[in-house]
Amino acid sequence: MPVLVSKSLRDYRRSLAGWTVGITAFFALYLSFYPSITKDPELYGRAALAKFPGAMRDLMGGLEDFTSGIGYLHSLVYQLFGPMLFVVCAAILGNRALAQPEESGTLELTVTLPVDRRRLVFERFAALALGLLGLAVVTFLAVWVLSSAVDMNVAFDRILAGHTGILLLSLLFGTLALAVGAATGRRGIAMAVVGVVAVGGYVVESMGRNVDAIAWLRWISPFHYYLDGRPLYQGFPTGDYLVLAGATVVLLVTAILAFDRRDVGV
């Protein structure tokens, strides 16, 4: 493994371990409620969910179905909480690639190493991708094992499709943080951009289904390419996932070009 990648991963390891434990615990907690919910379908069934205001149901991804394994898993893990937790983790790691070390001053020595600036950005990206992959693998296994343990009857490949989407989505946002950091060197700006795009993108995608005025905005929301294909219900939305991956590549190239051109630490 290239030395900058392994070094970055070593730097991320505590943070990654924390996020992995946290997200796994969060998923496990929610999955452990499932048996009690299926025991009482009237209380949580369609009629019960219909009582929530329409806009709120939209924001929660429709809340159509809570009592089937797929519906429960989608609503609680794959609709909002899973992606958002991953996105926050990815943005934090993406910021640690360049903007944070630049602000603290440790990037000064790194850029004077005999390593090309473009390679530096690429290797920091590779570390981000590997870190997120590790997080995704562990949480995927946890969801798969626990969902079988509570008899959710969700197929392995559907969980894999959902988790792949979360990974691609979070990698996109992590790369967005990295790219803004590469261009500006300010982690506050990078965090703000990720926050606006993530929250705005999610609202546009979930509300835009039923609000025509903003429906056209859905196609620029990253969440559209994750949620619209309903991976848990319909399996891999390959085309949409390729859009997420392509956008990540575009952001990476932008990051590399931007960082290669500018003054560091001024």
Partner 1 sequence: MTAVVRTEGLTKFYGDRRGLEDLDLEIRPGEVFGYLGPNGAGKTTTIRLILDVIRPTRGRVTVLGTDPRDARVRGRIGYLPGELALEGRERARDYLAFLGGVRGGVSRERIGALAERLEADLSAPMGRLSKGNKQKVGLIQAFMHEPEFLILDEPTSGLDPLVQQEFLAMVREVRASGRTVLMSSHVLAEVENVSDRVGIVRAGRLVTVEDIAALREKAVRLVEFHFDAPVPREAFEGLAGVRDLRVEGASVRCTIDGRPDALVKAAARFTMVHMVCAEPDLEEIFLTYYSEEGEHHAGAGV
Q: Is 262 in the site for partner 1 (CB under 8 A)?
A: yes
Closest CB to partner 1 among 14 and 51? 14
Cβ distance 5 to 126 under 8 Å? Answer: yes
Q: Is 28 in the site for partner 1 (CB under 8 A)?
A: no
Closest CB to partner 1 among 70 and 97? 97
Interacting stretch for partner 1, rule CB under 8 A, among 4-12, 30-38, 64-72, 150-158? Answer: 4-12
**Cα 101 versus chain centre, distance:** 23
Q: Is 106 in the site for partner 1 (CB under 8 A)?
A: yes
Q: Is 213 in the site for partner 1 (CB under 8 A)?
A: no
Choose which of 14, 42, 212, 213 interacts with partner 1 (CB under 8 A). Answer: 14
Choose which of 1, 25, 55, 113 interacts with partner 1 (CB under 8 A). Answer: 113
Residues in contact with partner 1 by CB under 8 A are 3-4, 7, 10-11, 14, 104-106, 108-109, 111-117, 119, 261-266
